[in-house]
Amino acid sequence: MNDRKLILGDWRFREAGGAEWRPAQVPGCVHTDLLRNGLIPDPFDGTNEIDLQWIDKKDWEYETAFDVPGELLTHSKLELAFEGLDTYADVELNGRQVLSADNMFRGYRVDVKPWIRGSGNTLRILFRSPIREGLAKLEAHGYGLPASNDDSETGGIGESKVSVFTRKAPYHYGWDWGPRFVTSGIWKAVSLEGWSGCRIRDLFIRQEEVTEAAARVTAVAEIEAEAAGAARLTVTTEGYEWTKEFELKPGVQTVELPAEIANPKRWWCRGFGDPALYDFKAVLAAGGRPIDGRAVRTGLRAIRLVRDPDAHGAAFYFELNGVPVFAKGANHIPNDSFVTELTYERYRHEIASAAESNFNMLRVWGGGVYEADVFYELCDEYGILVWQDFMFACSMYPGDEAFLDNVRREAEDNLRRLRNHPCIALWCGNNEIDTAWAHYNEEGGWGWKKLYSPEQRERIWADYEALFHDVLPKAVERMAPGADYWPSSPMQALTGNIDQHATNRSARGDIHFWAVWHASEPFENYNDNIGRFMSEYGFQSFPEYRTARSYARDEDMELESRVMLHHQKNKRGNQLIREYSDMYLKAPKDFVSFLYMSQVLQAEAMKIAIESHRRSKSYCMGTLYWQANDCWPVASWSSMDYFGRWKAVQYYARKSFKDVLLSAAEKDGAASFHVISDRLDAVRGRLAVRLYDFEGRVLKEETLPVSVGSNAAEMVFALRTAEWLDGRQPERVLLVGELTDDAGETLDVTAHYFVSSKRLALEEPGIQVREAAGSGGTAFTLTASRLAKQVYLEAEEEGIFSDNFFDLVPGIPKTVTFRRRSDGDIPFVQGSPGSLTVRSMTDFAIV
């Protein structure tokens, strides 16, 4: 098994036909290459996006020259392997066209042995403008297709929605949280690979049955050979070895090798056990010597999507190793408009933040990309389940045979690449298209149907069904047998009638609830719109001051400035944040204060939503808010901004996603306390409920024993609000609940207010901060003389606190620890925050 791969580097690029070549970085794209060469300004700064739309109208050329080492040249097969070409690419080797590519999401391989030379090879790739290609396809189509988030106006092509005709990341064309940068370039590695005789092209560990007692798997090896002959396949892992003798056949064949592991270490998601992983190695031998090898890492687990009928409608939850899992997490979008800029550390920061925030699931949303291998490897290691969309979102798509065949190959490539990852829990056909079109409900959907004639409507829907009800599910069944497929999110069930389409009150399937935000409904409506699985809902905020200043100058720091509006891609976004803020919060002192207030507002909204879903556990079995991250610095629904800085909502989510949560709610004159447990053992202890005034005096209290079963949610205490207030002013008191276990250890603490923050009688809280003894400047204890709302700790260094945006009650000290973002090898390492700034609501609001 000698080194048989040559990674091709030393690339240069130019506008097609131009005179001057400039250095290029591969992987990369034309936008980042232009930026590195000083030919364009920072695309994210100010309104530069608008001025850079010319780039996607041009053709671009990339070129490299290379020699082939003698050992590699001796192989009978030499293949150029392109892991990712974005998107319309004509490839020439030594003046001969060897490939024409048209799908960003596919890999391409071509045997170039007849045309390769030992030295002086030239590889040139012409990238044709995706916009011009799309316009030609649109014209040929005749009437176009809906694509609500395709920002064609910013792109300078009017109402021409071309994104749907190109198999390329949909968000590149713009979205309601992201800019329009329609890239071209070599976005993954290019290599020359040689082989002779035979090789293993792929190794899949198909899991037949996994229990506590045994794991039955089949090692499925895809083998390619030049000639017939005797061969042996050997597979090993952790002291186990299995061997199979077989006959090689010219061409490609599949060899299956059954295997069994006794008492396997099973893979669990975060909170349920260790995410144990196995390394499987396969060796192909012929003629008495090893010829090729391949290794894969996987985790042994049994996972399924349960949709059994019940008294309410039908369940919708994931069962892992026989245990029902309440899914907790968020929707993931690409971490950058230019994904080749992403580093291992940036991916690790996102996944480590998810685990730190008590997530057990991320949904890879269908308007981005099938993520890099490292993303799934990290989810495997951290125990984060992945709901994986295919890359289709909020649009209707063509259904001609060429398009369907292209998608079929795309699906096969990505299923083959990702199917060994234990983190993947579900493959989903698309985002929101079933409900957006709503074929079986004439008055439903987003109004798209009314733009077309009856004949066109039937054709568009038939194309939809061909893609999402035929091509994709068959690909999943063929490439990842046993994996679950869900045609569209949200959806009730594949019924072929009006009951197929999800509503805000669906009692089966999943729900995207957007009446809070898009329909301006109050936060309280989260409590009344709870489905079996809440796969989208959300609320926006601005990023913190440092992040806003990365794109805005002094004169831009106004809510309605041109730059602030440009970095708000939802048309009414800034207005909606202000309208909701006026409903729930006091007036901010200035725009900088409004940045903080918007984050508090978002956090409070998501707390209401998440905890209402968790209190309904068993009926509702999943809550994935929109969205975890950003692709550029912007006001959006994210809980971490573009730079990975935690917003207030990330801290709130960490608490609301705790494995044992104490949650308070109020309705019809009664306040109730609920214990929600994801533990597989019972929770027993005591609940203390105390009524405090804002000076820290305990006005009333009650303590009671608590017992909650495994993996369950129960209301454990209720009180009549009027009785506990007893004539006191509700804007000057709060309830604090503390749940302790039988050993006296605190499991959770929660605060409940009787009025909104807008009405609270806040005064300067007199916060005192002192360094915690023995912490070396990494931990601090805070106290207050009066109630401090949403205490905001700001560090000079990048990192996170053990808590932030918390309420500080007089007489209840709070100690917080700072952890730096990374020490290089390890995320979140305890360290000094540098200078520390501590403020609270009264520093930002007019009280």
pLDDT in tens, 788-816: 999 999 999 999 999 999 999 999 999 99
Reference 426, options 313, 346, 345, 329; nearest CA is 329
Give the mean pLDDT of the chain. Answer: 97
Per-residue pLDDT tens for 150-181?
Answer: 999 999 999 999 999 999 999 999 999 999 99
Asked whether the predicted pLDDT for residue 1 surpasses 50, the reply is no
d(CA 89, CA 124): 10
> How far out from the chain centre does Cα 814 lie?
32
HSE-CB for 28 with a 13 A CA cutoff: 19
pLDDT of residue 3: 73
Question: How far apart (Å, rounded) are the C-alpha atoms in residues 703 and 579?
Answer: 40
Sign of CA dihedral 156, 160, 161, 164: negative
Question: Max CA-CA distance within the chain?
Answer: 92
Query: What is the dihedral sign for C-alpha 65, 69, 74, 77?
Result: negative
Residues 6+ apart with CB under 8 A from 39: 22
User: CA 299, CA 668: separation in Å to the nearest integer?
Assistant: 48
Handedness of CA 758, 761, 764, 768 (dihedral sign): negative
Digit-coded pLDDT (tens) for 342-361 = 999 999 999 999 999 999 99
pLDDT at 823: 87
- 732 contacts 693 by C-beta, under 8 angstroms: yes
Mean pLDDT of 461-466: 98
**Per DSSP, which regions of 149-269 are E strands?**
173-175, 178-180, 185-186, 190-195, 198-210, 214-225, 229-237, 240-248, 251-262
Measured from the Cβ of residue 621, the count of other Cβ atoms closer than 10 Å reads 23
Mean predicted confidence (pLDDT) in 670-685: 97
d(CA 517, CA 36): 39
Under 8 Å CB-to-CB from 361, ≥6 apart: which residues? 269, 318, 327, 328, 329, 384, 385, 386, 387, 425, 622, 624
Segment 313-331 mean pLDDT? 98
- Note the pLDDT tens digit of each residue in 481-503: 999 999 999 999 999 999 999 99
Residue 2 has pLDDT above 60, yes or no: no
Give the bridge partners for 691, in sequence order: 700, 735
What DSSP string runs through 663-684? EEEEETTEEEEEEEE--SS-EE
> How many Cα atoms sit within 13 Å of 713 on the Cβ side?
23
Q: How far is CA 761 from CA 157, 209, 845, 846, in A?
A: 53, 60, 12, 11
245-269 average pLDDT score? 98
Residues ≥6 apart with Cβ < 8 Å to 401: none
**Torsion on CA atoms 388, 392, 395, 399, rounded to nearest 10:** -130
**pLDDT for the residue numbered 587:** 98
| Mean pLDDT, residues 13-37 taken together | 97
State the pTM of this model. Answer: 0.97
Average the pLDDT over 102-121 and give the result: 97
541 has pLDDT over 80: yes
Q: What tokens were used for 602?
A: 């978002």
Task: Give the angle 562-565-570 at the CA atoms, nearest 5°.
Answer: 155
Q: Which of 39, 41, 38, 36 is nearest to 51 (CA)?
A: 41
Q: What is the pLDDT of residue 530?
A: 98
pLDDT at 375 over 90: yes
Q: pLDDT for 387-406, tens place per residue? A: 999 999 999 999 999 999 99
Average pLDDT over residues 682-695: 98
pLDDT at 52: 98
Please count the other Cβ atoms lying within 10 Å of the Cβ belonging to residue 790: 24
Predicted confidence at residue 632, as pLDDT, reads 98
Please report the pLDDT score of residue 791 as a whole number: 98
Beta strand segments in 694-764, E: 698-708, 713-720, 733-741, 746-753
Residue 381's alpha-carbon distances to 120, 217, 352, 495, 657, in angstroms, are: 43, 21, 10, 38, 20
Residue 284 clears pLDDT 80, i.e. is over it: yes
Q: Is 151 exposed, middle or buried (0-12, 13-18, 19+ CB in 10 A)?
A: buried
Q: Tokens 């008590």 — which residue?
A: 358
